Amino acid sequence: MTHGSQVVKRRGIGGLSAGQDEHRYKIQTVSQSREGTQVTAAIARLRLGHTTLSAHLHLLHWSRDPFCPWCRITSETIEHFLLHCPRFHTHHTAPRSRLSALAITTFNLPTLLAASGIHVHPSRQSAVLRLTCAFLRKTGQLPHL
């Protein structure tokens, strides 16, 4: 909600003389696609390796330790979060079985992030990314990535 109104405000400052209806439409569009934007941003951050997971924060000296808040003895790397953390074990099983249904047997970071056609055939990339997005939503960790 706050995000939506900020966008409208910024546009308002820019001097756009948009009507009431247009404003209302923009607020609605922004809030409806907010999760979508969050997921897209999260995928980009995961691909770049710039997340707020403990291992990266620790590297930047913004976190006391690199450990997963759930496991406590394992570094909270992107790989740990996406593939191994027992906290999300039930969420890991669905993408794994769906990938094998797509004839993709490698369950690793390059595959899940479908960053290039090398690891996932271009025709399968969007399907794979949908699975990863669904996983990210289910974990409820989007705001923390």
Which residue ranges make up the site for Zn ion (CB under 5 A)? 68, 70-71, 85
CB of 71 to Zn ion, least distance (A): 3
Which residue's CB is nearer to Zn ion, number 27 or number 71?
A: 71
Phi, psi at 141, each rounded to 5°:
-100, 5
Which residue's CB is nearer to Zn ion, number 5 or number 75?
A: 75
Which residue's CB is nearer to Zn ion, number 25 or number 70?
A: 70
Rounded to whole angstroms, how far apart are CA atoms 58 and 64? Answer: 6
Which residue's CB is nearer to Zn ion, number 55 or number 131?
A: 55
CB of 84 to Zn ion, least distance (A): 7
* Angle (nearest 5°) at CA 81 between 78 and 84: 115
CB of 80 to Zn ion, least distance (A): 6
Rounded to whole angstroms, how far apart are CA atoms 27 and 7? Answer: 8
Closest to 131 measured CA to CA, from 100, 144, 122, 118: 100
CB of 78 to Zn ion, least distance (A): 12
